[in-house]
Structure 1
Amino acid sequence: MSSTALLLLALAAPLSSYAAPSITQSVWSQLNSTVGGRLHAGIPFARSCFAHVTSGVGGTQDAAACAAVQANYVNHTLLQDSLGGYINTQWETCQATSEQCLLDYQNATDQRAFNTPARICSQGSVPDFGIKVNGASDVLAAYSFSKQFGVPLVVRGTGHEYKGRSGNPGSLAIWTHGLKSITNAPKFVPTNCPKTVKPRTAVTIGAGVIYEELIDFADTNSLTIPAGGCISVGAAGGYPQGGGHSMFSNVYGLAADRVLEIEVVTPRGDHLIANECQNTDIFWAMRGGGGGTFGVTLSMTTLTFPATKVNAVFANVDNSVPGQLLAFFEFMVNNAISLAEQGWGYYLYPTLPGIAMSNTVLSQAEAEASIAGLKQLITKNFTGSGSTWEMTVEPDYKTYYPKYVTRIPVPVGFAMTTASRLIPVANFQTAKGRADLAQAMTAIIDEAPVAIAFGVAPFYHGNNNDTSVTPAWYDSLWHLALANTWNFNETATSLTKIYSDLSSGVDAFRALAPNSGAYQNEADLYEPDFEQSFWGDNYPRLLSIKQKYDPDHLLDCWQCVGWKGHSDPRYKCYLEVNGI
């Protein structure tokens, strides 16, 4: 038997092995019967490696299964296929109490993580159970169960998100990962729209489709469907519902801008088709208001574009030569507006340091001319063997993506947290604003292990004023994000400092852009004034829609619309940081 098969077998123990302390086995069995046998136990991903567990943890210690886990501990496919696996592992744990079931991601066979008397596997924040959704009736059954028994709900797709919204101690997960349909819709008109609405090229996807699958489908059908920085992200989940940026969003807009229709089941009991012509309030809310908040998406229709060539650049700067890093930042800041006007999108890595860039609107000759100044700077003006330049024209998006977007891989299989700020166009329009930003960029090298300036705001695309993402997205050029990582053996005290230091690191950019905001999906976990930061003037309307469709607060989550605050018992595993 393959290691993958062993791992999946270990994570699929029978329902009869488990029962939450406050609910009898017969009650869970009845729910399992109601949903056609699709109730799964939430087993921590590394459970099979542990001899000792706390009460309520399912599964068994198994040497062969443990070896499979160790071999696949940073495998995004198997993590997302497991109800107990999360792309960033702190969401498998209870950070406030240090209860967890983790391995050493740097050496998964290191027995200090799992084979000492002090290492006990705990459920942490992994849901006790999850319904692997097959349709609207499964979602409605979850809502009914939660109301009757008081079990908190979470909405889980791939487990790829940075705020812990898809995990909760003692919870029931509405698990949409199995909804894998993809249908090409080359002449799509939203349901019940008048004939005067112009058909558009689109694709309708189930809520479980990830970008790895969607990119393959798009390539087969000669389409372009922009993705974020990781192919394991769900294409219809929290990514578009929170905004969703990509290397192409300067030209093609945010993922939320491209959504044409959503099939959603609300906690109020509605099974709706929402678009520009019907159920327009929840359609607006779910394009920027955040995932796991207003309802559970079953399917989503999104705009597509023809297959296209991509002008692509990857460059490094030798930071060992004094002054080169600041000169690089100054060039990028001074030219940010013109680059955006010419359709360039990019990921600028201050801590690499270097940059990946893309352009689909210029010809090869035009692209080479527009980027000639940057090439001159790096290949002629800069010295040192670490300064490199690569520019190609890739034939299509699928070929381009692994060469440039994922060249710096997104962390998988270990803990990571982020903090961010959207940097407005106004900061680039004056000499002082540009100088201050370049200096702040240089300073963050000492503030955070990881930093990225995403030149991905939809500047070239423009503002359609039709989504609920913060308006700050459409007034910005950069989304600047900091990040930090850690391993299994950090204490609650050290984690509190990591979160606090990262928040302090982004304070310099909050000061430079006090009236801007942050991208909610990659924001500070302890974002101050989160309502204004994530949604600006859209928040009151979003809150009203939340109260309409989820009056019982079945779909509450951390710093989501309608958040009741840290004191809510469902957030007991979050640390208290900076008074939040």
Structure 2
Amino acid sequence: MLLLLALAAAPLSSYAAATSSIPQSAWTQLNSTVGGRLHQGIPFARSCFTHAAAGVGGTQNAAACATIQANYINTTLLQDNLGGYINTQWETCQATSEQCLLDFQNTSDPAAFNVPSRICSQGSVPDYGIKITGASDVLAAYAFSKAHGVPLVVKGTGHEYKGRSGAPGSLAIWTHGLKSITNAPKFVPTNCPKSVAPRTAVTIGAGVMYEELIDFADANSLTIPAGGCISVGAAGGYPQGGGHSMFSNTHGLAADRVLEIEVVTPRGDHLIANQCQNTDIFWAMRGGGGGTFGVTLSMTTLTFPATQVNGVFAIADNSVPGQRLAFFQWMVDNAISLAQQGWGYYLYPTIPGIAMSNTVLSQEEAEASIAGLKTLITQNFTGASVWEMTLEPNYKTYYPKYVTNIAVPVGVAMTVTSRLIPVANFQTEKSRAELAQAMTALIDEVPVALGFGVAPFVHGNNNDTSVNPAWYESLWHLALATTWNFNETSSSLSTIYSDLSSAIDPFRALAPNSGAYVNEADIYEPDWEQSFWGDNYARLLSIKQKYDPNHLLDCWQCVGWNGPKDARYKCYINIDGV
């Protein structure tokens, strides 16, 4: 189908100062066009505040506030609200400290919401959002943006780390209500020839979360790998940016497993994209980043049979001198062999500890494979330690026992930075020692550090995705993070961002030609085009220009973005002249 928008485009380089400048009759008409599903974007904690800035919707309500306070760090209530974001700085205007936040450590603390200086402000919460039910709603959003110059954002669950799903004075295309799940055991992509072999797959709406998908997969004796948090949308920015999981080593990135995408582009196309038709945007949306090329309505992804999973969880005592370095040295010395044997894992350097998975080896083979690690932790190390290894009957029982140990922060302001660590860094004694030393040193530099043994090493690069090719030449993805509370000042935020970015510099130096994971990346990633997409960037940019010539979709450090001086980014904190 081709539904070309005929409306003349308003210049998107100079957005309306506020959506309030648009006649109310225009919003009323938009609401009618989308069947009454235009929602006002109300800051998540609005009901707790006595005072609110002009234009902020909602009212103070004690009962509603009590619910918010009790569920402030609960993903379910957050993701069901247009004004809720997993990491709260994306609800705020960080540059001006305009916000509507509670104290996540004590949600009843009146200093956050019940003093004269605390006024609930709109921040970066979209002024309005359309709860999408189909292509016509997306087309209506595009038309409204072109007619009135309102910036658009694409929002699913609000679980993303770069602020791409919020912007001041914006209209959100809210996909969270697209909840369909259909089993497709003999899936052949649309309009492919009979020579294309059927695959086991599932077709999901863009609002389906992994929590729902894991339950569906279990009920149908399937395995569908998820990331570290089950509140993530399974068809949104996660697969569109790559999407790693504990099973990525053997089962590929989420982008590798996408077989078909239903997408509505800013140009006005309602397309089915796969290996046989609309192949350019199909390639771009499997790694090129969410909120960039079009709005996904549904996605078909490869599934695997239900399988047993070898799971390991181990902790060493970091209070004993030398044990942290010894642990990292063992991991880097054995990283290549572990990958070759099918292991995926999350490293917790601060503990230090590790959670692992393997679906390739038998229980006996798995035990033999990591006997050295067990000996190191339970016999060679002293102090308190933990070693647990089980054979779980399926992915659903494995996931909560081993994956959710990551405890992704919710209802907290948090920023991350990352680096892919190539196989080359594990191939010589010198490079392994340098990596182990760097891992040991960083623990004292940052509050949160995670090492993910999730690169698609065994799977390989055989699906022609647009993710940075460095993913397929790496073993580890290293991520660092820091958090802060509601009362952090704008001036100190610049230091927080800058310090975290500097903390990853030793790994940029160790792996200068690799890159970073776009979904878990530094807000101020240097040389971001090369870092996120490598040699794929030029092709991605040409596809962006084809399907979004008027830049209706634009987001921070996304392919072809308008740059940091665009008005929609006025709430980002500037560091080092960015």
Normalising to structure 2: TM-score of the pair? 0.97
In 2, the alpha carbon distance for the partners of 1:566 and 1:408 equals 32
Q: Which residue in 2 is equivalent to 1:222?
A: 221
* SS in structure 2 at match of 1:375: helix
Residue 574 of structure 2 aligns with which residue? 576
1:565 aligns with 2:563: yes
Counterpart CA distance in 1 for 2:541 and 2:255 is 19
Q: Which residue of 1 aligns with 2:459?
A: 461
Q: Say whether residues 1:257 and 2:253 are aligned partners.
A: no
Separation in 2, partners of 1:408, 1:243: 19
Structure with bigger RCO (C-alpha 8 Å, 6+ apart): 2
Is 1:525 the counterpart of 2:523? The answer is: yes
Any idea what the Cα deviations from partners look like across 1:393-438, whole Å, max 9, x if unmatched? 1110000100000023111011111000000000000111000000
Equivalent residues in 2 for 1:187-206, closer than 5 Å? 187-206=186-205
Match of 2:361, SS state, is: coil
Q: Helix, strand or coil for the counterpart of 2:90?
A: helix
Matched ranges for 1:169-188 at <5 A: 169-188=168-187
Q: Which residue of 2 aligns with 1:373?
A: 372
Residues 95 and 574 in structure 1, CA contact (< 8 A), matched pair in contact too: yes
1:539 is matched with 537
Alignment partners' CA distance in 2, 1:212 and 1:464: 28
SS at match of 1:335: helix
- Residue 327 of structure 2 contacts residue 352 of structure 2 at CA under 8 Å; is this kept in 1? no
Report the count of equivalent residues: 561
Report the alpha carbon displacement of residue 111 of structure 1 after superposing the two structures with TM: 0.4
CA contact (8 A) 1:20 1:56 kept: no
Q: Distance in 2 between matches of 1:370 and 1:308?
A: 19
Are 2:391 and 1:414 equivalent residues in the alignment? no
In structure 1, the partner of 2:505 is: 507
**Distance across 2 between alignment mates of 1:37 and 1:565:** 34
The CA distance in 2 between the partners of 1:328 and 1:565, in whole Å, is 42
2:9 maps to: none
Q: State TM-score, norm by structure 1.
A: 0.96
The equivalent of 1:28 in structure 2 is 27
Which aligned segments of 4 or more residues in structure 1 are displaced greater than 3 angstroms? Answer: none
Q: Please state how far the C-alpha of 1:465 moved relative to its aligned partner.
A: 5.2
The 5-angstrom pairing of residues 86-485 of structure 1 reads 86-385=85-384, 387-464=385-462, 466-485=464-483
**How far 1:34 moved relative to its partner?**
0.4
AA at the equivalent of 2:400 = P
Task: Tell me the CA shift for residue 494 of structure 1.
Answer: 1.2
How far residue 483 of structure 1 moved from its aligned partner, in angstroms, is 0.3
SS state of the match for residue 19, structure 2? coil
Read off the aligned partner of 1:89 and give its amino acid letter: T
Q: Which amino acid aligns with 1:545?
A: I
Q: Is the contact between residue 328 and residue 440 of structure 2 (CA under 8 Å) also seen in structure 1?
A: yes
What value does the CA root-mean-square deviation take over the aligned residues? 0.7
What stretches of structure 1 of length at least 5 have no aligned partner? 1-18
In structure 2, give the amino acid aligned to 1:117.
P
Residue 3 of structure 1 corresponds to none
Please state whether the residue corresponding to 1:358 is helix, strand or coil.
strand
1:311 touches 1:360 (CA, 8 Å); kept in 2?
Answer: yes
Partners of 1:210 and 1:232 within 8 A in 2: yes
Code of the residue aligned with 2:64 in structure 1: it is A
Aligned equivalents of 1:145, 1:564: Cα separation in 2: 20
Letter in 1 for 2:54: S
Identify unmatched segments of 5+ residues in structure 2.
1-17
Identity among equivalent pairs (%): 84
The C-alpha deviation readout for 1:77-111, integer Å capped at 9, x for no partner, is 11000000000000000000000000000110000
Does structure 2 conserve the Cα–Cα contact (< 8 Å) formed by 1:293 and 1:557?
A: yes
Q: Note the C-alpha offset of 1:352.
A: 2.0
SS of corresponding position for 2:21:
coil
Q: How many Å separate the matches in 2 of 1:328 and 1:578? A: 36
The residue matched to 2:405 in structure 1 has which SS? coil
Pick one of 492, 495, 505 that aligns with 1:494. 492
Maintained 8 Å contact 2:273/2:281: yes
Task: Quote the residue 2:6 is aligned against.
Answer: none
Work out the CA distance in 2 between the residues paired with 1:143 and 1:565.
21
Distance 1:422 1:228 in 2: 17
The whole-number CA distance in structure 1 between the counterparts of 2:453 and 2:493 is 30
Q: Does structure 1 retain, via aligned residues, the 8 Å contact 2:200–2:303?
A: yes
Counterpart contact for 1:526–1:578, Cα < 8 Å: no
CA positional deviation for 1:493: 1.2
- Stretch of structure 1 that moved more, 236-245 or 486-495: 486-495
Question: Equivalent residue of 2:424, what SS?
Answer: helix
1:56-75 equivalences under 5 Å are 56-75=55-74
Structure 1 residue identity aligned to 2:255? A
Amino acid of the residue matched to residue 339 of structure 2?
A
Kept after mapping to 1: 8 A contact 2:316/2:352 = yes
Please give the secondary structure, in 2, of the residue aligned with 1:21: helix
Q: Distance in 2 between matches of 1:340 and 1:458?
A: 9
Letter in 2 for 1:405: V
Structure 2 SS opposite 1:566: coil
Find the aligned partners of 1:384 and 1:106 in 2 and give their Cα distance. 31
Contact 2:19 2:150 in 1 (8 A): no
CA distance in 2, matches of 1:578, 1:341: 42
Does structure 1 retain, via aligned residues, the 8 Å contact 2:317–2:351? Answer: no
State the AA in 2 paired with 1:494.
S
Are 2:125 and 2:168, in contact at CA under 8 Å, matched by a contact in 1?
A: yes
C-alpha displacement of 1:464: 1.1
